[in-house]
Amino acid sequence: MAHNATSCASKWGENIIVLPPTAQLQALLTVIRDERTGRGDFVFYSDRIIRLLVEEGLNHLPVVPQTVKTPTGVQFPGVAFEGRICGVSIMRAGEAMEAGLRDCCRSVRIGKVSGYRCDEETAQPKLFYAKLPDDIAQRYCLLLDPMLATGGSCLKAIEVLLEQGVKEERILFLNLIASPEGIKNVQAKFPKLKVITAWVDEGLDAKQYITPGLGDFGDR
Ligand code: PRP
Ligand code: URA
């Protein structure tokens, strides 16, 4: 994996990357957390955070040297991305992150997995469905879900990817808000997974929702 100037491993470990808590990011998160924020603004400001997450995620993909000649006739010793990627969204809220990925990677292939937190007591996801690119085992996977609460949905999705032959170290989970519990759970089971999150909140409430969180992302 490539190392770069912007990536900063967090107190959670080198594979848990939390975006720098700039005033800009905090302001964006404040808008989407506010219960008074309507759908239009919620989508607009979430998209801005998603874009930051995607750009940071791409920073963690490997590159190889590539020299090009510029119109001034001079050689520029640059780099090019090495591997192929795909997006995998966890339905339904994760689908809201697909456009942000497409904005940065125009023709990226995107698969979907779905799990539902049917059981309100355990919050365990049930009913799993997956539609994934045939050659996913050869790709880096950007797994998309805005909320990491108990970690149940993320863990299920990763299991599906691993069953399809994707290497754990080639999965990058892009996420807007995480709970400490969710981070600990995914890290304990998949230590080589990279998590890129915009913010880590205080914890979970009695309904296993992230607190302070932003409520149900999919509904909003
Ligand atoms: C939300 C969210 C995650 C999951 C997080 O989806 O988008 O997939 O909950 O919780 P967990 O870490 O405890 O699994 P939800 O089940 O609410 O479905 P939705 O996307 O249809 O809103
Ligand atoms: N799903 C959400 O949308 N929000 C939470 O806080 C937890 C699960």
Note the pTM of the prediction, 2 decimals: 0.92
Give the position, in ligand 2's atom list, of the atom nearest the Cα of 123: 8
Residues annotated as part of the active site: 117, 122, 216, 219
- State residue 195's pLDDT score: 98
Confidence bin at 170 (pLDDT 50/70/90): very high
Ligand 2 first shell, C-beta below 6 A: 93, 147, 149, 209-210, 213, 216-218
Give, using CA atoms, the residue closest to atom 2 of ligand 2.
Answer: 216
What is the Å distance from ligand 1's center to 78 Cα? 40
Give, using CA atoms, the residue closest to atom 3 of ligand 1.
Answer: 147
Given a cut of 60, is residue 120 above it in pLDDT?
no
Residue 102, CA atoms < 13 Å, CB-side half-sphere: 10
Name, in order, each residue with C-beta under 8 angstroms of 209's C-beta and a sequence gap of 6 or more: 149, 215, 216
pLDDT (tens digit per residue) in 59-89: 999 999 999 999 999 999 999 998 799 999 9
Confidence bin at 12 (pLDDT 50/70/90): confident
pLDDT (tens digit per residue) in 55-64: 999 999 999 9
Give, using CA atoms, the residue closest to atom 5 of ligand 2.
Answer: 209
What structural domains does the chain harbor? 5-214 (3.40.50.2020)
- State residue 10's pLDDT score: 80
pLDDT (tens digit per residue) in 132-165: 999 999 999 999 999 999 999 999 999 999 999 9
